[in-house]
A and B are shown apart, each in its own frame.
Chain A
Amino acid sequence: MLTKRIIPCLDIKNGRTVKGINFVDLRDAGDPVELAEIYAQEGADELVFLDISATEERRKTLADLVYHVAEKVNIPFTVGGGISCIEDVDVLLQNGADKVSVNSSAVKRPELINELVAKFGSQCIVVAIDAKQIDGNWKVHLVGGKVPTEIDLFKWAKEVEERGAGEILFTSMDHDGTKNGFANEALAKLSVLVNIPIIASGGAGAVSHFTDTFTHGKADAALAASIFHFKEIEIKDLKKELKKEGIPVRL
């Protein structure tokens, strides 16, 4: 049986992890490679690296990081942040990334999805969608959720699937950072609407939130950052609890 995936997300700036990370056994808390190795050992099913650097050398710095992660880590990982063309993706895949995620650039020019899929295949193209509710309607947001658009979340998700994306990473800006649980209603609607896997993101604060998003939210995978970085929930414990609840996980 296909298991539900648990995915820690690491924010990267200039090749270093950004958010304060509370790992006592870490020699260098800012080293993404070391952190990635630890997460892999603890049972993470996949990793996501989100690059937020804005320097001219960003492409090279990120490629170097991807190379070093691939060298050490034996689970799949996705790289996202600022990817806007075929060359960006090519460099990352050549250096060992398994998947890339595109977000704002795909909203601005949706044909990018078709181009990437044609060149690299659906299996490595993830489309990240940030959305929040405005007057009860889910609207897609850009630039890390800061800039609202008129685009409806569900329409966009359907279009993303039709253009060939292999997976959708949906972050609810309404839930992100609240630690009150994932946007399960919207997630369940997405999961029925499209026939590609959905990664739930935004709102993880307790084990029960993961249980809920896999059952009520029908999510295929769940992503979280701070609760893992600050060891509020250990991945091993989380997966044991999920198994007790009857959710298929890899232990």
Chain B
Amino acid sequence: MKIVIINYGAGNIQSIKFAIKRLGHEAILSDNVEEILNADKVIFPGVGEASSAMDKLRSSGLDALIPILKQPVLGICLGMQLMCNKSEEGNTKGLGIFDLDVVKFPESVKVPQIGWNEITGLQSNLFSDIAEKSHIYLVHSYYAPIGDETIAESEYAFPYSAALGKDNFYGTQFHPEKSSDVGAKILQNFLEM
């Protein structure tokens, strides 16, 4: 299986590589169009700030490539947020895969949300054999609200999208690579799609 992690200079990619290695696979890091198009699975990571991440995607043309991919694609954290219509962070346009606008958590809760929260309303093969209320690890200040493409919910101040899914595209607000055995199983489910 050829697994490609999209390389656009964003964040903690080593942890994703290691998590995939623990599942018995190798992932390569690439920004090469051919390589990404020919991958069996594509992982779209992201840590950092939304508008500068989008700038990096645009400068390498990856913003046009990602929405036309046909194989399973998994956006993680900021990766998931960038797959939405737009983000309030840096007031940036997103890739428009998921029909949601990413906004900031209110002042009534501590921002960023850091730690382990529960996922409920699990609705996709991504969550095969994952129990309702399993704990996953998140670090984020912005969130995608609940929408038609929500495939898992979590609650911080109010319910929001912990994961999104549409056709071959998936996104998790949480970090499966850092979410212990639950996260490993979710990654494995993705790799088995």
Q: Do A and B make up one complex?
A: yes
The answer to the question of A71 belonging to the interface, with a C-beta cut-off of 8 Å to chain B, is: yes
Contact (Cβ within 8 A) B180 A166: no
Pair A220/B155 contact, Cβ less than 8 Å: no
**B116 surroundings in chain A (CB, below 8 A):** 2-3, 5, 45, 250
| A197 and B107 form a contact (CB under 8 A) | no
Q: Does B85 contact A (CB under 8 A)?
A: no
Residues of A within 8 A of B19 (CB): 74
A8–B180 Cα distance when bound, in Å, is 16
CA distance A120 to B114 in the complex (A): 16
Comparing B10-18, B121-129, B163-171, the segment that makes contact with chain A is: B10-18
Q: Does B147 contact A (CB under 8 A)?
A: no
Question: Shortest Cβ distance from B53 into chain A, in angstroms?
Answer: 10
- What's the least CB distance linking B151 to chain A, in Å? 20
Q: B89 — nearest CB in chain A belongs to which residue?
A: A121
Is B101's CB within 8 Å of the partner chain A? no
Binds B, one of A94-102, A127-135, A138-146, A205-213: A94-102
A98-B12, A197-B112, A220-B114 are contacts. A71–B180 as well, Cβ < 8 Å? no
- Point out the residues of chain B lying under 8 angstroms from A196, CB to CB: 110-112
How many B residues are at the interface, by size bracket?
A: 35 or more
State how many angstroms separate the Cβ of B132 from the closest Cβ of chain A.
14
Which residues of B lie under 8 Å from residue A71 when comparing CB positions?
Answer: 18, 21
1/0 per residue B98-138: CB within 8 Å of A?
A: 00000000010011111111100000000000000001010
- Residues from chain B with a CB closer than 8 A to the CB of A46 are 115
Of A1, A97, A220, the contact of B118 (CB 8 Å cutoff):
A1
Contacts A94-B14, A166-B139, A195-B107 known; A74 to B177 CB distance under 8 Å? yes
Q: For the complex formed, measure the closest distance between the CB of B142 and the CB atoms of chain A, giving whole angstroms.
A: 10
Give B residues with C-beta under 8 Å from A: 11-12, 14-15, 18-19, 21-22, 47-49, 107, 110-118, 135, 137, 139-141, 155-156, 175, 177-181, 183-184
Listed in ascending order, the chain A residues whose CB lies under 8 Å from chain B are 1-5, 40, 45-46, 67, 70-71, 74-76, 93-98, 120-124, 166-167, 195-197, 220-221, 250
Q: List 12 contacting pairs A-B, 8 Å CB cutoff, sorted by A.
A: A2-B113, A2-B156, A70-B18, A71-B21, A74-B22, A75-B137, A96-B18, A120-B47, A121-B11, A124-B139, A197-B114, A220-B115
